[in-house]
Structure 1
Amino acid sequence: MMNRLFRKKGGFTLIELMIVVAIIGILAAIAIPNFIRFQAKSKQSEAKTNLKAIFTAQKAYFGEKDKYQVNFTVIGFDPEAGNRYSYGLAPGCAAAVNATPATRRAGAIAGCIGQDALKFPAPPDAADAVSAVGVNPTLEDCPNCYFNASAIGNVDNDPEGDTWGITSGTVAGQATVQNACGIDEDTPNGLNLVAGEPTNAFNDVSCGG
């Protein structure tokens, strides 16, 4: 009986606890940034999905009319409200807008569906936007024309915008985007868009920090 009362009780020493805390801190330092990066990448799926929808809508319209459109309402493209990205068939489409039906329709007619200002009030820096957005060379040149569309948004908390583009063009040099993460000596004039494939002009996940 006395042996049970005076038996030494086990426990953790301060050094052992400090080692455990240090290990947890190291694991958190590795896991949290990776989780944030993965989360940001998942947000990019909106841009890729909607750009492919624009491409499909434009191609269907071209099949009937032998021309492309800058007016989103004509081709029937209208993403759900709450969009993180601004979608443009006109230059300079990056600003957030109030997602009222009248505002969205007016912007869509002009070739610009802005990001939802209620959820994403700060427009991103769109310095690395797609070149020559719209119908090129001009709508009057169709059916010998092509189109470029852009998607510009923000997937993290820095000022840089995550920018994407898609094109119907197939000739090298027709449709280009700025080089991701700066100038590449192999493509000094920009990256050629591949017809029908969303292409990253500036990756806000890997380039924006």
Structure 2
Amino acid sequence: MESRTAQEPRAVQWLLLGLGVVAFVGTAGVMVLRRLSGPMGPPPNEARANLKALFTWERAWYQEKDSYSEDLGQLGFAPELHNRYTYLAAPTGRVLTAVERRGSVTPMPSHSIIAADPASGRYRGTFETFAQTGCPLTTATLPDGTRAGLGVTRSLGAAPTDPGVFIGAAAANIDGDPTPDCWSIATVDRVTASGELISAGQPYNELDDVDY
């Protein structure tokens, strides 16, 4: 029978071997997840991060110009390539493609929509208008009762200097069925049909359709 002293090195070896297996499996799992999810992690993370960035750009533009803009090129908003979501600052407008973005065109042409990148993981197309997405949108109510939808909206009869409010959106078909995953963000507070408060600058999942 082995002495306790002789058994201890062998026990340590088995322990180290076990830890090595766990580390290998864990690393492999992370690599697979990154491969499937893309550089920004799971799809909703991309939408949240980029819409927060869009809100920041809009607020910076407002601080300088006292207005909001639907021109994403003018704002300087440029999501990282391999984006799975289409980003919209207006219901319609010029669509900036991934090919154009890779071409590093200077200055960037005026555009209100940024197309999804075909090189992204789980790419299932892009959208050229907000109507094509089929997404719902939580509107905002201006002081005069005007309902603000996607893009920049001002009160009826407002002065040209009135900045109005801005609502942006993101949409992507991630999981293979026809229904898209839909997000929005606004420069003012909004209230959903169920009475939920959506604070200004908070990305809101209008339609959750991500199937892992």
Contact 2:73 2:111 in 1 (8 A): no
For structure 2, list consecutive stretches of 5 or more residues without a partner in the other structure.
1-32, 140-148
The whole-number CA distance in structure 2 between the counterparts of 1:157 and 1:142 is: 45
Which is greater in Rg? 1
Aligned length: 156
How does 1:1-209 map onto structure 2 within 5 Å? Answer: 42-92=42-92, 97-101=97-101, 109-119=110-120, 120-123=123-126, 126-130=133-137, 131=139, 132-137=149-154, 141-170=160-189, 172=190, 186=194, 193-205=198-210
Q: Point out 4+ residue stretches in structure 1 off by more than 4 angstroms.
A: 95-98, 102-108, 138-142
Percent of matched pairs sharing the same residue: 28
Contact 1:96 1:116 in 2 (8 A): no
One-letter amino acid of the structure 2 residue matched with residue 168 of structure 1? T
**TM-score, scaled to structure 1:** 0.60
Bigger CA drift: 197-206 or 111-120?
111-120
**TM-score, scaled to structure 2:** 0.60
Contact 1:68 1:142 in 2 (8 A): no
The whole-number CA distance in structure 1 between the counterparts of 2:112 and 2:59 is: 16
**Residues 151, 143 of structure 1: CA spacing in aligned structure 2 closer, same or farther, 3 A cutoff?**
same
One-letter amino acid of the structure 1 residue matched with residue 151 of structure 2? G
The whole-number CA distance in structure 2 between the counterparts of 1:83 and 1:72 is: 15
Contact 2:69 2:75 in 1 (8 A): yes
Secondary structure at 2:133 match in 1: coil
For structure 1, list consecutive stretches of 5 or more residues without a partner in the other structure.
1-34, 180-185
**Correspondence for 1:18:** none
One-letter amino acid of the structure 1 residue matched with residue 125 of structure 2? A
One-letter amino acid of the structure 2 residue matched with residue 150 of structure 1? A
